[in-house]
């Protein structure tokens, strides 16, 4: 029976840990730590560069927005009567838009099943209401921007 044990291969292998790989500083794992520190430095440098690029991008957008706001302000000062007229037109058109949206939502409520089940009817509905709504929104936006009293949403953010 003792010979059976010797003839079988061992299930566990032996590992010599006394002569393990030592890092450059003579401490185990120091090479890995130095490599990790180097990678962290590279990541930090990349993040610093990314932050610089984001700052440049933000400055570009802010300067463009300020320039646009200045030009619009100059136009409003040069055309105060037209700016007031644009404001009145925007208010009137806003009421028209509200009524249009009421009709649109009623149409959806009344024909929900038909719109859901029929692709043709949905396309007809979109063709009927979509372009008019898009153009109405565009007109309102232009009139609101040209109006004499700027809304808080349209005022530029000054850093």
Name every residue whose Cβ is closer than 8 Å to that of residue 157 and which is 6 or more positions away in sequence.
62, 65
pLDDT of residue 14: 61
- The tens digit of pLDDT for each residue in 65-120 reads 999 889 999 999 999 999 999 999 999 999 999 999 999 999 999 988 988 888 88
In this prediction the pTM is 0.53
Task: Take residue 123 and report the two structure tokens written for it.
Answer: 């396309």
Span 143-155, mean pLDDT? Answer: 66
Distance of CA 70 to the CA centre of its chain: 26
Mean pLDDT of the chain: 81
- The tens digit of pLDDT for each residue in 48-70 reads 999 999 999 999 999 999 998 89
Residue found by looking up tokens 């396309």 in the block: 123
The span from the CA of 68 to the CA of 60, in Å, is 12
Element (H, E) at 56: helix 30-78
Its sign, for the CA torsion 57, 63, 64, 65, is: positive
Percent of the chain with pLDDT over 70: 73
Task: Report the half-sphere exposure of 85 (CA within 13 A, side-chain side).
Answer: 4
Place 23 in a pLDDT band, splitting at 50, 70 and 90.
very low
Span 120-136, mean pLDDT? Answer: 91
Conformation bin of residue 29: beta by default, left when phi > 0, alpha when psi is -120 to 50: left
């Amino acid at each position: 029976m003792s010979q059976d044990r010797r003839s079988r291969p061992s299930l566990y292998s032996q590992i010599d840990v006394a002569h393990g790989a030592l890092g450059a500083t003579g401490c185990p794992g120091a090479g890995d730590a130095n490599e990790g520190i180097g990678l962290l430095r590279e990541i930090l440098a990349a993040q610093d560069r990314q932050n610089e690029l984001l700052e440049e991008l933000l400055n570009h957008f802010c300067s463009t927005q300020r320039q646009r706001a200045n030009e619009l302000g100059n136009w409003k000062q040069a055309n105060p009567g037209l700016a007031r007229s644009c404001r009145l037109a925007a208010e009137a058109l806003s009421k028209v838009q509200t009524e249009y949206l009421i009709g649109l939502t009623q149409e959806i409520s009344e024909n929900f099943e038909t719109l859901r089940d029929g692709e043709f009817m949905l396309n007809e509905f979109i063709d009927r209401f979509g372009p008019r709504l898009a153009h109405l929104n565009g007109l309102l936006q232009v009139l609101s921007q040209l109006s004499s009293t700027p809304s808080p949403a349209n005022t530029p953010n000054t850093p």
